[in-house]
Amino acid sequence: PGTAPTEVAPTQVCASTPMGYGSMRRKEDARFIRGQGRYLDDIALPGMLHGAILRSPFAHARIVSIDTSAAEAHPKVKAVITGETLAGLGLAWMPTLSHDVQAVLATDKVRFQGQEVAFVVAEDRYAARDALGLIEVDYEPLDAVIDARTALDEGAPVIRDDLDGRTDNHIFDWEAGDAAATDDVFARADVVAECDMLYPRVHPAPMETCGSIASMDPVTGKLVVYTTTQAPHAHRTVYALVAGLPEHKIQIIAPDIGGGFGNKVGIYPGYVCAVVGTIVTGVPVKWVEDRSENLMATSFARDYHMRGEIASTKDGKLLGVRVKVLADHGAFNGTAQPSKMPAGLFHVFSGSYDIAAAHCQVTGVYTNKAPGGVAYACSFRITEAVYLIERLVDVLARDQGWDPAELRMKNLVQPEQFPYTTALGWEYDSGDYPRTLQKALDIAGYAELRREQAEKRERGELMGIGISFFTEAVGAGPRKTMDILGLGMADGAELRVHPTGKAVLRLSCMSQGQGHSTTFAQIVAQELGISPDDIEVVQGDTDQTPFGLGTYASRSTPVSGAATVMVARKVRERAKIVAAAMLEVSPDDLEWEKGRFQVAGDPSASAAIADIAMAAHSDLELPDGVEGHLDATCVYNPPNLTYPCGAYICVVDVDAGTGQVKVRRFIAVDDCGVRINPMIVEGQVHGGLADGVGMALMQLMAFDSDGNHLGASFMDYLLPTAMECPSWELGETVTPSPHHPIGAKGVGESATVGSPPAVVNAVLDAIGVRHADMPLTPAHVWRAMRGDPIRTDLA
Ligand code: MCN
Ligand code: CUN
């Protein structure tokens, strides 16, 4: 026991570059491993100044006065900007991605600890930081709302008194599903299990923090912003709307990004301050936050208080699930998700099971905490949904004495039910759930593990086995149902094949470490027979790329990937006409065969793509109406989301004396449809599994009752390392998406979404406790074993 079975072989990396899909090494790594990455902080523009932000020490306080005179007198300080300065420019408040406003620099009140109060621009970073200490702010502290469950209490302090007529902290009520039909199945059910659970506030904590360099050219009036963004075009449109500038006067450039994980989707006050800084000083201004600023003030994740119920027959046929959610959105409603869905895609919470009725009711509230809300590989809140259903299924199994694997197997949507429409209206596109779960059980050796567990129990040793099965909805999304700030979620792609047969692909999405330079080149290679090494992928510069909404919610492969396929096929259609002219045959006589068009029945008469490219740019006579050259553009509007799935099994040992959890094994069988680069897919899964171990066992943004942030450094906000992770055991099933042009589904967040409930289920299985909230630190586990459940998020 304890050793990984040998049949799980690691993916072989191709010895030579494949002409399409396959595990080729990442093209970008040659640069990265030689220290040649170019991140925001590596960029220095001539005459550039440096900004620093003064932040609130209080979670809630009225600003009585701000005295900047001493800071302004600092010999190296060039400007001190306050909320009042911004108010004069109409920039004190900016729109959020959820139709709220957020203070760029506070004018009236501060509403969370770490909120932006003033911006100093100085000759160097050190002087800017020193000058922050010279600014005198007189605060009048107010009572803070820290526990979301008290936010709507009578007499609770009103956080957003800036909004007209506000008398409470309520943001929205939203529901999905059929309440009456759900109540009906609950009334008829033999058994009902209920559970209160908190998915605590966590943080994506990318290795690189956020930053911007803004440069306004006083002659041309063009604003260039180098910035850490996952969505360059969306950012440009927001800047255009806020500043009243046309888009062509704004260029957003995202350099290499050192991890995003959703942290780099939104626009932060520091970015806007850098823009104001360059306008005020006439030279480029750089702002880069430090680690504590990143952890305290930028997009957090989760913070969902859920009360879930699940109903079933006495022989374990699941009938219904319902949930009430209290969503803590912090001081400004800045969550990123499709506009019509204030709880994101949370309403996939019926999970992977054939459940007749489901209903959710979600209430969003303001608290005195940082804004944000959707980040950290969340798939727009599918993390919360999967955690909810996978915990409920385990709670039900425990209450009834059922085996959690059997209960799941009995209720999974069957392969012949696809396309399957859930009780909440999602149309799952494809999958073979029973086979996926069976494969995970086989790799784990489930029966043997249960025997081992029983033996260990006899000896007083605590071993746990936890299962989760997830379905994600990724690839947002169809324009008719999904938009962000009115921008439909379609993506553009442009492909140009040069005369010599090399190509450039331009995309609106933006890699933050996912390897797009490699996988998107592989898609073109597969379609056109050009080596991926000869295909340059351009991203992250709005002057160089077509419009599209960017990389988050694992939408790049489903949307930009599909756009890439379609644009490559358009080019191939043109190539066919050119080849026909070259070979003096009708296009109908041509067949496409591994990078060349050949005359049907005569393989000796053929033209390779490189020859066709040269001919397309030559004096070759083309039929009337056919343009020369070899290029195309396309905009892809997905007809549906793609629905990857996976079965995860976690095996833990818990120290009965200390509550320390050791993750001994983790089996992950993922189905993301056709895999473009299996090695990159496995890398994505490895990262997400580590995320899951981190969230389940150690990561937490906790606060004291005054709203002091208790996790503002990596001393307190714990991230998992290789030491806490086992050697992952991966498997796969492949059910292509029927509507995606190459059958690929997204995978970038699957493991982060799917793994936390497996780890939690395993720990609770080991200690024999019905429920305890994450993170299951030794202290929390130890208390849970003693029947002393606690609120993990409050000090
Ligand atoms: N891929 C593939 N075959 C598939 C699906 C995906 O080869 N069937 C490849 C893709 O081509 C891409 C990678 O896997 O190179 C991830 O693809 P996809 O699932 O489309 O996800 P995105 O590229 O849209 O990435 C976003 C996703 C999100 S939302 C978060 S959060 C997250 C994640 O990616 N942030 C990451 N993984 C991350 N990985 C790194 N290293 N850094 C981050 O910040
Ligand atoms: Cu929600 S984190 Mo990813 O979608 O950028």
Q: By alpha-carbon position, which residue is closest to atom 33 of ligand 1? A: 748
Q: What is the pLDDT of residues 447-472, one digit of tens each?
A: 999 999 999 999 999 999 999 999 99
State which ligand 2 atom lies nearest to the alpha carbon of 376.
2
Distance CA 767, CA 347 (A): 31
Task: Tell me the pLDDT band of 1, cut-offs 50, 70 and 90.
Answer: very low
**Tokens read off for 270:** 């520091």
Distance (Å, whole) CA 720 – CA 693: 7
d(CA 790, CA 774): 10
Q: Which residue carries 């290679």 as its tokens?
A: 525
Counting atoms of ligand 1 from 1, which one is nearest the CA of 674? 8
Q: What does 567-601 look like in DSSP terms, one character per residue?
A: HHHHHHHHHHHHHHHHHTS-GGGEEEETTEEEETT
Q: In 10 A of CB 631, how many CB atoms? A: 19
Torsion, Cα 113 119 120 124, to 10 degrees, reads 80
* Whether 302 contacts 374, CB under 8 Å: no
Mean pLDDT (whole number) for 541-555: 98
On the question of pLDDT at 555 being above 70, the answer is yes
- DSSP β-bridge partners for residue 253: 226, 541
Gyration radius of the chain over CA positions: 27
Of 293, 226, 281, 223, the closest CA to residue 77 belongs to: 281
Directed axis angle between helix 778-785 and helix 750-767, to 10°? Answer: 40
Binned at pLDDT 50, 70 and 90, residue 9 comes out as low
Residue 717 confidence class, pLDDT cut points 50, 70, 90 = very high
Q: pLDDT tens digit string along 405-453?
A: 999 999 999 999 999 999 999 999 999 999 999 999 999 999 999 999 9
Asked if pLDDT for residue 6 goes beyond 60, the answer is no
Mean pLDDT within 260-270: 97
- Strands (DSSP E) contained in 644-784 are 645-654, 661-671, 729-732
For residue 492, pLDDT over 70 is answered with yes
The H or E element spanning position 191 is strand 191-199
Model pLDDT for residues 348-394, shown as the tens digit of each residue = 999 999 999 999 999 999 999 999 889 999 999 999 999 999 999 99
pLDDT in tens, 207-229: 999 999 999 998 999 999 999 99
Q: Mapping DSSP to helix (H, G, I), strand (E, B) and coil, where does residue 322 land?
A: strand
**Tens-place pLDDT, residues 127-137:** 999 999 999 99
Q: Mind listing the pLDDT tens digit for each residue in 160-178?
A: 999 999 999 999 999 999 9
Question: Is the predicted pLDDT of residue 3 greater than 70, yes or no?
Answer: no
Overall pTM surpassing 0.95 (yes/no): yes
Q: To test the ligand 1 pocket, which listed residue (514, 523, 676, 755) has its Cβ within 8 A of the most ligand atoms?
A: 514
* Domains defined along the chain, listed by start: 40-142+209-256+264-297 (3.90.1170.50), 304-476+640-785 (3.30.365.10), 490-636 (3.30.365.10)
Asked whether residue 4 carries a pLDDT value surpassing 70, the answer given is: no
- Ligand 2 atom nearest the C-alpha of 265 is 5
Largest Cα separation within the chain, whole Å, is: 86
Q: Determine what percent of the chain is predicted with pLDDT higher than 90.
A: 96
Site residues for ligand 2, CB cut-off 6 Å: 230, 260-262, 265, 374-378, 552-553, 749
For residue range 731-787, list pLDDT tens digits in order.
Answer: 999 999 999 999 999 999 999 999 999 999 999 999 999 999 999 999 999 999 999
Q: What is the DSSP letter of 633?
A: E
* Unique residue bearing structure tokens 């005459």: 47
789 pLDDT higher than 90: no
Ranking 41-45, 594-598, 676-680, 750-754 by mean pLDDT, the lowest is 594-598
Average pLDDT over residues 85-113: 96
What's the chain's average pLDDT? 96
Cross-strand pairs, 669: 647, 731
Ligand 1 pocket, Cβ-based, cut-off 6 angstroms: 206, 259-262, 377, 512-516, 519, 551-557, 672-677, 680-681, 684, 687, 744-749
Range scoring the smallest mean pLDDT among 2-11, 294-303, 510-519, 771-780: 2-11
| C-alpha dihedral sign at 481, 482, 487, 488 | negative
Determine the distance separating the centroid of ligand 2 and the alpha carbon of 230, expressed in angstroms: 9
Tens digits of residue pLDDT in 27-38: 999 999 999 999
Edge-first strand listing for the sheet containing 630-636 = 535-538, 503-507, 491-497, 630-636
Ligand 1 pocket test, pick from 23, 376, 557 with the greatest ligand atom count within 8 Å of Cβ, gives: 557
